[in-house]
Amino acid sequence: MFGVVPKQLWKRKNAPDEKNMCTWSMRCLLIQTDDRNILIDTGIGTKQGEKFRKHFEPHGDDSLHDSLREAGLFYEDITDVLLTHLHFDHVGGAIYRDDNGELVPTFPNATYWSNEVHWNWATNPNPREVASFLPENLLPLEHHGVLEFIDVSEKDVSWLPGIDLRFLYGHTEAMMMPIITVGDKRIVYCADLLPSSHHLGLPWVMSYDVRPLHTMSEKERLLNEAIDHGDLLFFEHDPKVKSGILGRNEKGRIALKREMGVDDFLS
């Protein structure tokens, strides 16, 4: 998760256990409008077997199902699922295995959104990412006819009212980063461009990234914009910090200025 950063440095931020493993979150975002319940990413899901799960040891009491119930929603209430990219820890919850053993969409009334560039990349994976793109997470979306594609652009595109998408190429091909505007404020769902508040330093880039120099350039743009606009950054994988705003520390470096929830930010 920290790439070439020495362990002596990164262990101060997220200390590993006796197996050299760190705890991370798989934090989704629910956006509610007058007529839509939009879910961004779906976590790892529950359909994978023990052999797969023992490599990552998913744990904790939180679940996507329970979190939606806390918001007063059922799976049937979700209208749209935006998949930032198709790595298993982001798309795994999009599909489940029913009582007959069939792989079916978790959200039966939802349209699932990806883009054709990334879809082709994921369904014809390179050796670096083949273990991250699992056919059982992807092909059922196509088979059940619930998949739609968003046109890829070099510039940010408007997807739905108040939600723009930026296409990024450092972590994987054409990952989508949502930028949500509410009034005059912006919330950025950082996905794997900035997986946690620990990754604010430009050289702190994951080994998973296929083009780390692209990641650094894309991250630098994001950080500068967040400072200029006062954006709230939403961290998908940070084990503790859900979201926050940035500032500059005494050395002039960009740092987390204040941990802040979405409700407080918008109030």
Predicted pLDDT of residue 258: 96
List the CATH code of the domain at 25-149.
Answer: 3.60.15.10
Query: How sure is the predictor about 102, in pLDDT bands with cuts at 50, 70 and 90?
Result: very high
Rounded to an integer, what distance in angstroms lies between the CA atom of residue 161 and that of residue 113?
Answer: 15
| Average pLDDT of the residues in 29-38 | 96
Bridge partners, residue 258, by sequence = 245
187 phi and psi angles, rounded to 5 deg:
-115, 125
Predicted pLDDT of residue 61: 86
Question: 20: buried, middle or exposed (CB in 10 Å: 19+, 13-18, 0-12)?
Answer: exposed
| pLDDT tens string 60-91 | 888 999 999 999 999 999 999 999 999 999 99
pLDDT over threshold 90, residue 252 = no
Predicted pLDDT of residue 197: 97
| pLDDT tens string 15-29 | 999 999 999 999 999
Could you check whether 1-17+153-267 and 25-149 share the same CATH topology?
Answer: yes
Q: Is 196 helix (H, G, I), strand (E, B) or coil?
A: coil
For the chain, give every domain's residue range.
1-17+153-267, 25-149
What is the residue-averaged pLDDT of the chain? 96
Q: Are strands 175-182 and 163-168 parallel, antiparallel or unpaired?
A: antiparallel
Predicted pLDDT of residue 128: 93
Q: Of residues 52 and 158, which shows the higher confidence score?
A: 158
| Superfamily name and number for 1-17+153-267 | Ribonuclease Z/Hydroxyacylglutathione hydrolase-like (3.60.15.10)
Helix (H) or strand (E) holding 246: strand 243-248
Rounded to an integer, what distance in angstroms lies between the CA atom of residue 267 and that of residue 265?
Answer: 6
Q: Are strands 243-248 and 254-259 parallel, antiparallel or unpaired?
A: antiparallel
Claim: this prediction has a pTM higher than 0.75: yes
119: phi > 0 → left, psi -120 to 50 → alpha, else beta; which?
alpha
| pLDDT tens string 169-220 | 999 999 999 999 999 999 999 999 999 999 999 999 999 999 999 999 999 9
- Contact indicator for 101, 136 with CB cutoff of 8 Å: no
CA 202 distance to own-chain centroid: 19
Q: Dig out the tokens for 186 from the structure.
A: 């912006």
Q: Of residues 267 and 84, which shows the higher confidence score?
A: 84
Rounded to an integer, what distance in angstroms lies between the CA atom of residue 189 and that of residue 170?
Answer: 16
